[in-house]
Structure formats: C-alpha cells, structure tokens
Structure 1
C-alpha cells in the first residue's frame, strides 16, 4: 500500500508554451533498484522507452509520470531528480545559459523525438532543457493538475527569477509564456495559468548538506505523507526531513541510491502562501 494517488502528468497534458516544465528524470546508478523502490513507495509501474532499454518510463495508472536512466556514473553527476523545461531552440537556450554564467554539462544532444541538454544555473542548481523536433502523435489531454511540481531552493529567489526569466523567456509576454509573480519573499511561476514552481531564497552554495545547497526540488503529491514515508523506510530509503507547511505537510526522502525527492499532500504550489 502506498500513499500516492493518480494524477495527470505533464506527459499527457503537455503545456504548449515554451519554457514550461515538461518532464522529470531520475539520474541514478542502479535502474533495477530504483524501479523496485519507487514502484513500492509511489505505486509506479515501468515500461522500456523507445530510446533504449536503459531508459524507462514510470507510469501511474498507465499515465507517464517520469523517466529513469542509469547515467549518473557516465555523466559524472550525483544521483538526482532533474526537471526539464521545454524550449523552442536548445542551441539558443544553452547559449543564453553560458552568457549568464551558467554551465552546460551535456548537449544539446539528439534524444528520442527531440534534443536535450543538461545544465546548471549560476548557483549550481541542475536542470535540463528539451527541444521537441518531431511532431507528437498523441493529442493533448485536458488536465487540472500536474503529477509533480517544482521548488527551486536558491541563494536569492529574485536573482534566480531573473536568470531563468532571461534564459527561458519567462514573463516575456509572448503567447504561452510562463508568468512570474512575487509572493512575499518567494517567486511563483505559472504556466498557462497553472502554478507549477516556486523559487525560495536561503540556500548556501558551499553548504555540505545537499538540502541547503541550491537545487531544484521535485515534489510529488501523495494522499498520505506518513504512509509514504513509512513505505520509503521499509523499502530501503530514509527520511531526511519532515515539516509542516501551509495547508498541509511534506517530507523529503532519500532513495537507496541517494536521490532526494519530496512528497507532499499540498495539491498545488500556490497553496504554500500563509
């Protein structure tokens, strides 16, 4: 039994505008162990993708929700959940990242039906960009929620919003572009009217604790946080931090390979306002 409940994912309800979060990938060492753990904890099933046997797609009630790839060793990166943002041109976007003192570690490379790049912002938070180059054969499905949403914990939320705004064309006013709102000491990012990410200050670049360093936090909504925590511990994971938040609770967990992720019973990022 798990604490998760089915939700519509970005994959089946894609945001059509540029710069929106479009996917999350787990970069791991042991793909079999990751499938066992997340299947038990979040109730996911898995299928090989068309991009090769070593890339699997996690599904919840037959809805694609995330990808998993055993590339941590090959790319010499830490085991981590990584968000990807849709872009119109991966070459232009990676050039902007470099111009603004970010780092492009991999790509852009052809990958499946598009081109992808792995990068980090100027404070070290890792993210990816995705340019779709082949038309989708699956029509968009209406959705009222995302399967996952994001929180960037960074040194300065307003500086980070400027960086991502310039790199991804947030708040550009172009059709479909994401909107940025300043809420108290945080930044709320809405894409096509849907709140999908928050940016908060206070991270420390040199902190030994990975929770304190700048990073993108992938948050999965679940029906019961405590049940999910218990399932994670039972299957070889560990509880890193449990905390109350406005309108609910959340817990940060570490999978057996070291990957950090958060589960929450808060249904949408805009409910984090007091």
Structure 2
C-alpha cells in the first residue's frame, strides 16, 4: 500500500483561507455569517411565510431563496441562503428544532465559511480527477480535497503536485471487504462530507453504499438509464447512437440507479469509432461531474425519493 502525504497541506490551507473571507462585516462593524438552510416537509399553506418570519425574527437577511412543491409526493422543498449577525450556528440550530417540529420538517443548516471536505476516488482514467483538482485550485468549486484514494498508482504524482495525500489501495474480490473498511476509515478521518467517484471503476458493496448514502457522487459514462454497467461506449457504438452522454448521480446499492443530479450529451455519427466516442465522452463526463459536485457542495441538491430537486 502506497500512502503519499505531501509536506504541508498547502492546497487545503489556501482553500480554507479563501473560504474564511466569505464572512463579511456590515456597516455597523458586526460580523455577518453566511448560512444555507435546506428543508423538505409535507406541503401546506404558509411555509414560505413562516420560514421568512423565522429568519427575520432571528436577525437574518435573506440573500437567495428557492422553493418547489412536488404534486406527486405532496412534499415541499426549499433552499434559503442568508446572513445573520445575531445568532451563532448553535443558537440557530436550537431555534430551528422547535420551529421545524410542527411542520414535520427534515432540515439541515450549513455554515458557508468553509469549503466542503471531500475525498476523491479514482482508478486509471484521470480526466475527471484532473478537472476537479484544477477547478478547485482555481476557486471554481467550494470543496477542500483532503485525500485521493485509488486502486492504481497512476495519479500519485498528480496528487503530490496539489499537495494532497494519495492512498494506494489495491482491491480484488478477496480483499474487497478489508479495503472498503480502510477507505471508510480514511473518509472518516478526513471528516469528508462528500465522496466523489471520479471514474473509480469498482462496484461498491451494499454496506459502503449505505455508509455513504446521500454524500457520494458517481460519474457514469453514459446517458442513464441507457447503457448501464461496464463499457457503455462499446454498447453505444454497437447500437449506432447519434448522441452519447454522461450522468452524475448519487451512489446507491442498485448499480447506476441512484438519483440523477446532472446529465449532458455530445453528438455522434456513423463515422465515429469506439475510440472516438470515448475521447468525446471524456469532456462531457468532466463537465457533468464538475457541475454535480458544485451544486452538491453549495447545498443546491435535495433528494426526492428516486429523483432530485436542484435549486440552481
């Protein structure tokens, strides 16, 4: 097992320093702390009014808000970004508990002062990994990549160039359980709120999928639900498709069946070989995964059964 721990977490420190500047002072000199509240509950009249009143009563200023009521499930979804200089995170949490109970709300309160701690898992295809790391370093993704886990050695130098620890954990059917336990140990040690499968070409066990429910995003190199499983570009080529695509979705125990976050396509024709389709698909995969990671890390994605609600 190769574990590369670069000297100094330069990338992570820079990301945390940049994020700390998101809290700003108002004209009175008091510190305004930025928060995001996401919630879902049975739909009924007056929810938006109640949430707005709650925030006003707690000295908050709404900066962005989105809402959606699903007529099929009868559920209401909302995302509110706001600034507050009169309540701490703990105080807001305490106030929310009593506020949410009559509405049967499932809610989460997120402070935006820090980028989301993230672990990336990858195999031998590095285009999505490279794209995510560059976007993160460029300030385009609010994530803090704290570790890279791979079942191959190919990208330890890439990890080192970004000062990110690299964990080489080879896996086969005989070692799968032990390797997944080690992976979960790393994820827990890094306090990762997000795990990105950036072309990690291993099927996760049911146990690991359950451990990472709602916080693991996979990129599938196909426009799901078509061409599930292995070698989708070969399947697409055999069917003579005119569009190839990529799908970013949450990981579940059902292979390639998790709630979809983002999809995109590229046009193809009869002249394209499998190699052509694969090369074309890499750009689409990278863009789709980056958008999904951005929306998740900005708490814009709410899971609605087998679907998602996304406040862009």
Q: Which has the larger radius of gyration?
A: 2
Higher relative contact order, chain-length normalized (CA < 8 Å, sep 6+)? 1
What TM-score comes out, normalization by structure 2 length? 0.25
What TM-score comes out, normalization by structure 1 length? 0.27
| The structure with more helix, counted as a fraction of residues | 2
